[in-house]
Structure 1
């Protein structure tokens, strides 16, 4: 993810694009580079498609349009189906589109992202533990944590969706 986007005029009939508020990558390049390194380290050893599903779901919950755009495009480029991406917002009602492991990852993503009760429920953690070995589970928790941080940069900085092309920010 980057925080440097030009303001693009809206096509006829569409609402204008909101201007970006702040560029973390320009103002705090060391923080931005550290986030990139953290992102790479967090997803090591995890299935890339699973990581994209997790990033999309967290971005839906956090209403980060830039990250939704980026990770939906990355998931499609990695071979994920549009149908599974579209169904993520209603994954509980669309369980038959996902594996048990993916369902456990999505439940954990929601629990870590929303923290409704101020903690991750034991049953959600236990279900994730059934499907992920300990190191893989730690990687998943790290990946969920990192996308939540990216989402907060994106939403606060008002990064505009629609300009990302898969591979733009490959490290």
Structure 2
């Protein structure tokens, strides 16, 4: 893989778009448990290979008081189900399916599992969150955003 020396910074060059992404991010997680939201963000970031977003949301989750073990096991969450609630497992299944949408196009059984674990409003919020973090990871990967600079507030 060749390395480009010049990567545009969307925040500087298209600030309206970047601000809209920030607003979209805030709206997409409204009403969802913050820990669940960060688990979903971390998982999508891992699948998309975005080190910046993986780092950011792992730090945010730790800041909420969650533990390092759950974060470390997230890449193998199916083999570590006892560390995640039924609702978290349903959210992670849906995250995997939406993030890897070209593989199976969000199978009915995955959607049904999430629909049983969440009411309609929360399911809609979850889908919005997954779509949003996938957009963010594409910004992070394309811009080669580097981890290690984020500080949770």
Q: TM-score range by the shorter chain?
A: over 0.9
Runs of 4+ in structure 1 deviating by more than 3 angstroms, as ranges, are none
Alignment of 1:1-171 (within 5 A): 21-167=7-153
**SS of 1:92's equivalent?**
helix
Deviation of residue 19 (structure 1)?
Answer: 6.3
Kept in 2: contact 1:67–1:151 (CA 8 A): yes
List runs of 5+ in structure 2 lacking aligned partners.
Answer: none
Structure 1, unmatched stretches of 5+, are: 1-17
**RMSD of aligned C-alpha atoms?**
1.3
Choose between structure 1 and 2: higher helix proportion: 2
Distance 1:159 1:149 in 2: 14
Distance change >3 Å, CA 19–CA 117, structure 1 → 2: same
TM-score normalised to the size of structure 1?
Answer: 0.85
